[in-house]
Amino acid sequence: MIFDLWETLVDWDQVRAARMFDEMAGRLGITTGELRRMWDTRDNPRYVAPIRDALRAIGIDEAAHDDICEIRLAYNRDTLVPRGGAVETLRALREQGYLLGLITVCSEEVEQLFPETELAGLFDAEVFSNAVGLAKPDPRIYLHCCELLGVEPHEAVFVGDGANDELAGARRVGMDAILIHRPGEDPFWPEVANWDGPRVTSIPGVLEVIAR
C-alpha cells in the first residue's frame, strides 16, 4: 500500500497557508499577490530541488532565505498532523502484513520535519519528491517506491486525493488506485470528478476496500 501525504494522510490547511504567504511577503516587502505569482511560476523547482535553490530560481534575495525557510518550517511543523484514524489504519495494515510506502510531492521542509511527526516509522519506504528530483505523475517516482518496497507495480495499491494526476499516473505503471476525498464533498480535482475506481472518505475506509 502506497499513500500520498497532503489531503490524504494530512490536511492542507488553506488558512494557515495563506497566513504563511502573507508573512513571507511581508518579510520580502512585496504584496502577497506578487509573491504568489513568483512562487507559482512553472520555473520554480520547489518540489524537485532544495528550497534555497527554488528561492534563488524565482529571484528571492539570499539575505532573506533564512527567514523564509523559518516561516515555511513553522507552517509545516504546525500542519504535519495526521488525520483522524490515519495512524491507526497504517498500524493495522502493517499488522496485516502489508508493506507501506509514502510518495509525496513536497518541498524539503516536509522531509526535514517528517521524523518529528506521528507518521514517522510507519512506512517501509518514503519518497519525497524534493529528494529524488521527481514529482507525480512521473512514472519513475512510483517505480522507485515499488523498488524500495521490493514489489512489482501490479502488486501495489496507491491511495491519494488525485492531485498532480497521481491516480492516473499510478494506473499507468500498473498499480491499482483508491481515491480519497472529504466526506460530503465531491473530489476537489476535476480530473477525478468521474473516478471509476474505489473511493473512500477517510483513511480507515481503505481497510474496508481491501477487505472486499
Taking only the tens place, the pLDDT of each residue in 82-117 is 999 999 999 999 999 999 999 999 999 999 999 999
What CA–CA distance (Å, rounded) separates 133 from 48? 4
Of residues 133, 127, 190, 196, the one with CA closest to residue 162: 190
Q: What pLDDT, on the 0 to 100 scale, is given for residue 87?
A: 98
According to the model, what pLDDT value does residue 49 have?
A: 96
pLDDT at 3: 98
Q: For residues 38 and 106, give the distance between their C-alpha atoms in angstroms, rounded to a whole number.
A: 17
For residue range 4-28, what is the model confidence (pLDDT) as tens digits?
Answer: 999 999 999 999 999 999 999 999 9
CATH classification code of 2-10+83-210:
3.40.50.1000
Q: Which residues of the chain have pLDDT under 50?
A: none
What angle is formed at CA 158 by the lines to CA 157 and CA 159, rounded to 5 degrees? 120
Question: Global pTM?
Answer: 0.95
Q: How many CB atoms lie within 10 A of CB 117?
A: 19
Enter the C-alpha cell of residue 133. Answer: 528530483
Predicted local confidence at residue 42, as pLDDT:
84
Phi and psi angles of residue 38, each rounded to the nearest 5 degrees, phi first = -65, -45
